[in-house]
Structure 1
């Protein structure tokens, strides 16, 4: 998992796709942490993304580094929102406090279950990463 987590943190912006009623939706993300030995992310329960993941928890993410290596990550979004998970997220990325606080009624944390990750190089090499 550390290689995947490091790739996402180092490259700062990654894109997550959700699907709602068969229609894909992609948005930039910038927060990731390890929680309960899984990759964890955050959102707000007032965003479309939250409703889409509740309807269909299957998500995919993509990130590209400065050398054009591409990380593709997929799994099932499982919400694990608690005061503990929210506080850890705020500790990992203090800037989140501009939007969220513990027990604010909108700050949601989700894990990626059954996660799979692959890294692809520009020359076509593929490496499966351990999650």
Structure 2
């Protein structure tokens, strides 16, 4: 029996890939995609951060639903893994999470002058996460090969 995907597995995958692309519904009703970085796992929740002056913050206040995709191209391209999921963003004031993010990210630490209480610094976690982990070698409609990792679907 295959191991069920956990929030820890998803967080580790995002850390390994480094940069992710997060899609929101823009205030104009059109999709918006931007690079983001998963920050920390705390109390079983995956946390991200943003700035309250950014469009992403306003979009998530109005439409809290996101899609996220990430990958890191491997030298042997066919073994490149990727992850894609949908979720709902929940903003919450959490000093411990803000401090952990500042410890992890040099740029966040610098931008907000190592002040977790900076008024523009906002954090959010994801809930109702549904998606899959895949690799480029597994493509629907093509012949399945035993040496390719099968997609792993998850709901967290």
Does TM, normalized by the shorter one, top 0.5?
A: yes
1:127 aligns with 2:152: yes
- CA distance, structure 2, for counterparts of residue 5 and residue 26 of structure 1: 20
Choose from 9, 21, 24 the match for 1:18: 24
- CA distance, structure 2, for counterparts of residue 120 and residue 128 of structure 1: 9
Give the TM-score of the pair, scaled to structure 2.
Answer: 0.77
Residue 4 of structure 1 corresponds to 10
Render the CA deviation track for 1:81-124: whole Å, top value 9, x for unaligned.
Answer: 23222112112324311112211100010000111230122223
Q: Which runs of 5+ in 1 are unaligned?
A: none
Residue 54 of structure 1 corresponds to 61
Q: Which has the higher contact order (CA 8 A, sep 6+)?
A: 1
Q: Which runs of 5+ in 2 are unaligned?
A: 1-6, 140-149
1:110 aligns with 2:106: no
Choose from 36, 39, 44 the match for 2:46: 39
Choose from 59, 66, 71 the match for 1:64: 71
Whether the aligned pair in 2 keeps the contact of 1:72 and 1:118 (CA below 8 Å) is yes
Residue 142 of structure 2 corresponds to none
- Stretch moving more, 81-90 or 101-110: 81-90
Q: Look up the SS of the partner of 1:98 in the other structure.
A: helix
- CA distance, structure 1, for counterparts of residue 16 and residue 44 of structure 2: 19
Name the Cα RMSD after superposition.
Answer: 1.6
Structure ranking higher in strand proportion: 1
Render the CA deviation track for 1:47-101: whole Å, top value 9, x for unaligned.
Answer: 0000000010000100013332220021100001232221121123243111122
Offset at residue 130 of structure 1 (A): 5.6
* Number of aligned positions between the proteins: 131
